[in-house]
Structure formats: structure tokens, C-alpha cells
Structure 1
Amino acid sequence: MKVAEMMSTDVCIAAPTDTLQRAALLMAQNDIGSLPVGDGDRLVGFLTDRDITVRAVAEGKGPETPIAAVMSAEVKYCYLDDDVDDVAKNMADLEVRRLPVVNRDKRLVGIISLGNFAQSGHRHASQDLLEGVAARH
């Protein structure tokens, strides 16, 4: 099975110039804990609720701080046509719950998450991923 068959395509994207307050609002409205950060459809970063807590609030940065100041600029991602078993293993090794999905032109096309694996019924990949993520916590 390929990532394209399992990923979510309805992805909220933030701009690097958006504020942390806007990012937090998007996360709250969509019940999500992370946002890909894009310049158009080019993936330039990734922001998590943990980034907001640890890199912003803990350091005294306010809600008007641009996302670019606290986002992770070194983004791990997978390709649309990658095999889900390989992606699950990679996510487990990286100990992450989600990865942005890009096409071969490195344009953001979706996101794949632990939830996608759980809903897919792809038992082997889901188990590998869950064990990797659980190892982190």
C-alpha cells in the first residue's frame, strides 16, 4: 500500500509569518497538535503544540511572535508514492506521530499520522509505528 492511499489531504497549513496565536487558534479549531508551515505549497517548516509551549511560552515569547521564530525548519517528510511499511518504520525510528507528505517536486500534498495507520487496518505497519512512538514516551 502506498502513502497516497492512506494519507489525509485535508491539511491546515500555516505561513511562517503567521503568529503563534493564529497557529494555536487553527490547532484548536481543527483539534490538531501540529501544522505544516508552507510558503505557498512549499514545505518550509513544521510547528507543534510542544514547540509553542517549549520554544515560545517557556522562553517568554508572546502570541504575536511569528511562527518562523519557533518552528522546526528541518522537516522530516515522506513521499506520496512511498510504501506505508517503510514510512511506518521510519516514523517509528524518528519517534514521530505524523509526517508531512510531499510529491516528487517536494510540494506538500498531505499528512500521514498514527491515526491514519490505525484507521487503515494495516496491522503490521500500525504495530511497528505504535511501538516506536510508545518508546519515546
Structure 2
Amino acid sequence: MLVRDNMTRDVRTVAPETTIQEAARLMAEADVGALPVAAGDRLAGIVTDRDIAVRAVAIGRGPATTVAAVMSLEVLYCHEDEDIGHISANMAENQVRRLPVVDVDKRLVGIISLADIADARASEAGEALEGITRPGGERSQSIEGRA
């Protein structure tokens, strides 16, 4: 299964000069914990609710603080044509809960979260379970299945 099949496509972004108050408001509206930071059409960073809490509020910075002052500059990302299994291993190794998704031109096209991956795997598990519990078949244990 590929990232493009399970990523969230409708991704809000913020500019580096956006205030953390506005970023937090956008996160609340969209019910998300992170927003990619875009400078023009390029990914410049990512700001999370944790960045705002730890890098701003905890040290007394006010709501007018810019996203640029608290965002994570090292942005890990993935490509839309990558396998979810590979991405989930990468997320575990790097201890991140979400990754921006870019296309071949490195333009932001979505975001994939731990929840998206869990949903994808649940779907695969659900399909397997449905097949396993379907009556009959080559490995049936019913009396009619014996030769």
C-alpha cells in the first residue's frame, strides 16, 4: 500500500511570519497537531502544538511570537509513492507521528500521520479477517470439506 492511498490531502499550511496564536487557532479549527510551514511553494519547516507549548509558552513567549521562532527546521518528509510499511518503520526510527508528503517535484501534496497508517493497516487486517472467516474454501474445517 502506498502513502498516496492513505494520506490526508487537504493540508493547511502557515507562513513563517504567522503568529503562534494564529497557528494554534488553525490547529484547533482543523483538529490537527501540526502544520507544515511554507515559504512560497516550498516546505520550510513544521510547527506542532508541542513546539508552541515547549518552545514558546513554557519559556514565557507571548501569542505574537512567530511560527519561525518555534518551528522545527529539520523537516522529515516522505514521497507519495513510497510504501506505508517503509514509512511506518521510518517514523518509528525517527520517533515522529506525522510526515509531510511531497511529490516528485518536492511540492507538498499531503501529510500522513500515525492514525492514517493505523487506519491503513486496520483495513488490510480487516480484509484478511474477512477472507479468513468466510465459510468454505480450500482449508474449510466443515464436515462437508472432508474428502
TM-score by length of 2: 0.80
AA matched with 1:87: I
Which residue pairs with 2:131 in the alignment? Answer: none
Residue 36, structure 1, aligned to residue 29, structure 2: no
Does the alignment pair 1:45 with 2:45? Answer: yes
CA shift digits 1:43-75 (9 cap, x unpaired): 100001110011001121111111000000110
Structure 1 residues without counterparts, runs of 5 or longer:
124-137
Partner of 1:103: 103
Instruction: Map 1:78-97 to 2 at 5 A.
Output: 78-97=78-97
Whole-Å Cα distance in 2 between the matches of residues 117 and 106 of structure 1? 21
Which one has a bigger Cα radius of gyration? 2
Look up the equivalent residue of 1:32 and give its one-letter code. V
Counterparts of 2:15 and 2:72, CA distance in 1: 13
Separation of aligned partners in 1, 2:97 and 2:25: 21
User: Residues of 2 paired with 1:45 and 1:97: CA distance?
Assistant: 15
Structure 2: segments with no counterpart, 5+ residues:
126-147
- The DSSP-based 3-state class of the residue aligned with 2:37 is strand
Look up the match of 1:20: 20
TM-score (ref. length: structure 1): 0.86
Say if 2:40 is the partner of 1:55. no
Give the partner amino acid of 2:119. Answer: Q
How far is 1:2 from its partner? 1.2
Q: How many residues align?
A: 123
Cα deviations across residues 53-105 of structure 1 (Å, max 9, x unaligned)? 11001121111111000000110000111111110110111111110001121
- C-alpha distance in 2, partners of 1:40/1:109? 14
Distance in structure 1 (CA, Å) of the matches to 2:21 and 2:82: 34
Identical positions, percent: 57
